[in-house]
Amino acid sequence: MNKSHEKGRTLQRSQPGFDAEILGTSFNAHDPGRRPEWIVQANDVFDVVSAINRARGNNLKVGICSGGHSWAQNHIRDHSLLIDMSRLNAIEVDAPNLTAIIGPGCQAGDLNRQLAAQDLFFPVAHAYSVGMGGFLLQGGFGWNSRRFGLGYENVTGLDIVLANGQLVHANEKENADLFWAARGSGPGFFGVVVRFHLKLHKRPKFIGLKLQVFRIRHLEEVLAWADKTGPSVTSNVEFQIVFNRKAFGIMSHGLEVLAPVMADSYADAKKDVAFITSSPVRKLASLTLPLVPMSMNMMMNTGEKTLFLPNTEWFADNMWIDGPVDPIMPRLRMIADSQPPAPSHALWLNWNAPQTRTDMAFSVESRTYLALYGGLRNKADTAAHRNWATDHMRALEPHSHGIQLADENTGRRPARFVTAENLARLDQIRAVRDPDGLFNAWMGRPDRAV
């Protein structure tokens, strides 16, 4: 995956090794069957500009990848030229000014480690190897983003190569249309981002984790409690529940109540997670760990070794849910009962979005986030379970408020990911900035599959 130490090459579809290079860009080990005509492994901005010209000259569309973590493998498209940005992964931190400039190929974990060493913080993605490029463009649900904002809310500017090959800077004042569009258009953005300018935070003094585990038979009681208590949980805590067939400690089907917490002191953090220690369902728990200090680096690496395994075919889907959990409880039980083997898992996340955010393309979020990640490691499981996530999400559509582009599955199940007003505005900006439709758009959108 991370090949940034090797000099990037340009390969055509007919050349030996082409398929391996294409599939090697993707975290998801599934082969989507689609193939671009060229891959350009960019070493610098000049390679990006010449790739754009090559695509134009060959009448091809442009696909882009940075970390290759799109579950849907959005970047692997037919009739296109793929620009692989993983080698543009520089990280420059300006600690006194609390700013950084990063390449889109930089990994969440690498950025976090550099910042931790200087007592600084950015709400990076939860797994180490996620590319910051795709993560930031779709919004960026980072560590404790309820407190620090979405990843993209901490971006102050971007350097972008446009469809005409021009390199421009975009921020709130300069090329403001591009800045607005980049904040949430995700896999439908119409330009190649070559650098992000970030605003950093002081690192919270305490970072830790509270964990409680229940057997799956308690699903209804635990989710009813979580749903009720969620709105009052402080934004210091990222309150979530994972359905796991190999739940921590019990190594069987269970619910992991996970509460990463960031606070000014251990005492404050303990108060923040007291809702778990004193909950009405606590006596049903098979296991409750005390609040333990834990580095983000450790949590990110643990996630990749337990839930987010590589060399796995992934089929993910997701939705925002606005109402209370009761009407969907029978379906949640069906999701658990039909859950494929680990590392497949379901995530229930307490979000309770803020009332207002700055004006940007990102515009759909809600009370609760539900995502299903079918992670299949042998052919029989793939045949049996590849539709697990999509089918359950389809059945829940009447309760849904839309989706996150982070875990999008729009090629198989088109769904609302921005408001209709913002979709229209994105289309208008695209028509001006990419009049010939050089860049691939989303694989599916609410008004039609593309």
Ligand X SMILES: Cc1cc2nc3c(=O)[nH]c(=O)nc-3n(C[C@H](O)[C@H](O)[C@H](O)COP(=O)(O)OP(=O)(O)OC[C@H]3O[C@@H](n4cnc5c(N)ncnc54)[C@H](O)[C@@H]3O)c2cc1C
Report the first-to-last Cα separation within the chain, whole angstroms: 28
CB of 242: closest distance to ligand X in angstroms? 13
Query: Nearer Cβ to ligand X, position 35 or 279?
Result: 35
Residues near ligand X (CB under 6 A):
27, 64-71, 74-75, 85, 104, 125-127, 130-131, 133-135, 137-138, 140-141, 186-187, 189, 192-193, 308, 406-407
Contact predicate 433/178, CB 8 Å: yes
Query: Nearer Cβ to ligand X, position 216 or 374?
Result: 374
Q: Which residue has the tokens 């934004």?
A: 235
CB of 280: closest distance to ligand X in angstroms? 30
CB of 357: closest distance to ligand X in angstroms? 15
Can you list the positions of beta strands (E) in 103-205?
A: 120-121, 155-161, 167-170, 192-199, 201-202
Query: Nearer Cβ to ligand X, position 52 or 257?
Result: 52
Query: Nearer Cβ to ligand X, position 95 or 432?
Result: 432
Taking the CA atoms of residue 407, residue 409, residue 411 and residue 416 in that order, the dihedral angle to the nearest 10 degrees is -90
CB of 261: closest distance to ligand X in angstroms? 16
Tokens at 284, concatenated: 């049903």
CB of 119: closest distance to ligand X in angstroms? 22
Closest CA to 417 of 443, 389, 392, 438: 443
User: Cα separation of 104 and 303, whole Å?
Assistant: 22
How far is C-alpha 146 from the chain's CA centre? 15
CB of 233: closest distance to ligand X in angstroms? 18
Query: Nearer Cβ to ligand X, position 308 or 351?
Result: 308
Query: Nearer Cβ to ligand X, position 192 or 376?
Result: 192
Taking the CA atoms of residue 141, residue 145, residue 151 and residue 152 in that order, the dihedral angle to the nearest 10 degrees is 100
Backbone angles phi, psi at 316, to 5 degrees: -115, 155
Closest CA to 108 of 297, 313, 302: 297
User: Cα separation of 159 and 266, whole Å?
Assistant: 40
Query: Nearer Cβ to ligand X, position 149 or 186?
Result: 186
